[in-house]
Amino acid sequence: MEEKNWSWEMILKITSILLLLGICLAQKTRYDGFSVLRVVPRTAKEVHALNRILENINHLQANIWRFSGVIGKPVDIQISPKHLSNLNETLLRDGFRSELLIPDVQKLIYEREQQNQDIKETAALFEYGKYHTLDEVNNWIDNITKFYSNITSVFEITKSYEGRSIRGIKISTAEGNTKPGFFIEGGIHAREWISPATVIYMTGQMLDRYSADLRIKQLVDSFDWFILPVFNVDGYEYTWTKNRNWRKTRSKHGPCVGVDPNRNWDYQWCKEGASKDPCSDQYCGPKAFSEVEVKGVADFIMANAKTMKGFIDFHSYSQLWMSPWGYTKELPPDFQDQDKGSELAVDALEKVYGTKYQHGSIANTIYVASGSSADWTYGAAKVKYSYGVELRDTGKYGFLLPPDQIIPSGKETLEALIALANFVLNN
């Protein structure tokens, strides 16, 4: 009898421990007291020194929000309170001075959650000025394509690593005619919420204003539009449920989880500007196209490559409109035309609210990055007008942009898209 009672007590204890463990695992990652520092390298030597520091700070609970690689361009580092002084000492030892951008990341996350919750929407209205979960985005895709069934259809790229559907909207106003294609994607990096939000807003405007706005009608009629609001569906879901600052996919290839889906494309894969460390946020994966999401999008684009004339991968943050190459600072033969498109886009964008964007090649504007989407679409799929765009802001809020900036971002980016699309159509 005694042995039975003891076994039962042990079972209860084990059950309690497992329940507590489950609760802990279900909780979101918190960033109480974590801060974001900015450092700006002033010489090529400092760029090299800063990159060396960044390669060796994983043990400090640090996370790179904005990578370094160009003289005069800032790198933003999220750091835990426990290791803040160690990082500052390391930076000072190498002659760097840091600027405090965000004093408490968790406080900013909480503020954004509250602001987003305060925005109410009715059953019949999708609130474009609010950040939405993946389920809400998918419901919007279903609803808006049913409402505009005469010119839209839903396409599925593939299933993600965790089995989620990667879905987009095709807008085509002339089924019988062959028109050039234009592919737009958002949310390749999970934590960059303004990217899907901006893509969704622009898509809504293209459809809602099609019959009433001649400029929008011309934009929509000029191309077959393939619009993928959320590329990295597993990672995006994870930012809502577990870790707001998650960047990568959720696949498992080693001791750590995830691959950087913008370093996994099969063009100049895993050279400079990518990491072979599975725990790095820039991990290129065990091989090119190891990520089912990346391979799926690439296959879809390649299947439509003969008519595809434009491609934009929307990111955040930094306010940059960039064209290939990313893997090298050398310029491609089409750079002059590509950059003219960028120039027209940023000029149109600035006229809306005065928001200033820089433009140029990826490697010369932000940093060298191999295995990127824009390099692959241009180099492999031969889409001449391929771009990587970094949306708002320049670092005040970083990835935690307030929801009241979604519609302004959408409005100005739509003007940029109109200007670029007109240029691509005529060139």
Q: With contact defined as beta carbons under 8 Å apart, do 335 and 238 qualify?
A: no
What is the average pLDDT across 36-48?
A: 93
Q: Which amino acid does the sequence have at 250?
A: R
> What tokens were used for 284?
């290129």
Left, alpha or beta for 349 (phi > 0: left; psi -120 to 50: alpha)? alpha
Q: What angle do CA 99, 101, 103 make, to 5 degrees?
A: 110
Judge whether residue 172 has pLDDT over 50. yes
What is the average pLDDT across 355-371?
A: 96
For the stretch 230-264, pLDDT in tens is: 999 999 999 999 999 999 999 999 899 999 999 99
pLDDT band, very low/low/confident/very high, at 21 (cuts 50, 70, 90): very low
Pseudo-torsion of CA 408, 413, 418, 419, nearest 10°? 110
What integer pLDDT is reported at residue 70 of this predicted model? 85
Reference 112, options 403, 406, 395; nearest CA is 403
pLDDT band, very low/low/confident/very high, at 61 (cuts 50, 70, 90): confident
Q: Name the most confidently modeled range: 54-58, 178-182, 410-414.
A: 410-414
35-44, 102-111, 175-184, 200-209: which range is least confident on average? 175-184
What integer pLDDT is reported at residue 175 of this predicted model? 55
The whole-angstrom separation of Cα 259 and Cα 252 is 8
The full set of domains in the chain, from first to last, is: 35-103 (3.30.70.340), 126-426 (3.40.630.10)
What integer pLDDT is reported at residue 176 of this predicted model? 54
Pseudo-torsion of CA 139, 142, 144, 147, nearest 10°? -130
Per DSSP (E only), the strands in 308-382 are 308-316, 320-323, 358-361
The whole-angstrom separation of Cα 387 and Cα 67 is 18
What is the average pLDDT across 44-66?
A: 85
Catalytic option among 185, 192, 293, 390: 390
pLDDT band, very low/low/confident/very high, at 69 (cuts 50, 70, 90): confident
Judge whether residue 293 has pLDDT over 80. yes
What integer pLDDT is reported at residue 9 of this predicted model? 55
Judge whether residue 13 has pLDDT over 60. no
Would you give the DSSP letter of residue 227?
E
Helices 233-241 and 134-147 pack at an angle, to 10 degrees, of 130
Per DSSP (E only), the strands in 265-411 are 308-316, 320-323, 358-361, 385-391
Average pLDDT along the chain: 92
Judge whether residue 363 has pLDDT over 70. yes
122-131, 265-274, 324-333, 415-424: which range is least confident on average? 122-131
For the stretch 185-237, pLDDT in tens is: 999 999 999 999 999 999 999 999 999 999 999 999 999 999 999 999 999 99
What is the average pLDDT across 48-70?
A: 84
What integer pLDDT is reported at residue 14 of this predicted model? 53
What is the average pLDDT across 302-307?
A: 95
390 is catalytic: yes
What integer pLDDT is reported at residue 60 of this predicted model? 76
Please tell me whether residue 1 adopts helix, strand or coil conformation: coil
Percent of the chain exceeding pLDDT 90 equals 85
Q: With contact defined as beta carbons under 8 Å apart, do 355 and 349 qualify?
A: yes
Reference 294, options 327, 331, 264, 270; nearest CA is 264
Please tell me whether residue 381 adopts helix, strand or coil conformation: coil
Q: With contact defined as beta carbons under 8 Å apart, do 201 and 406 qualify?
A: yes
Please tell me whether residue 3 adopts helix, strand or coil conformation: helix
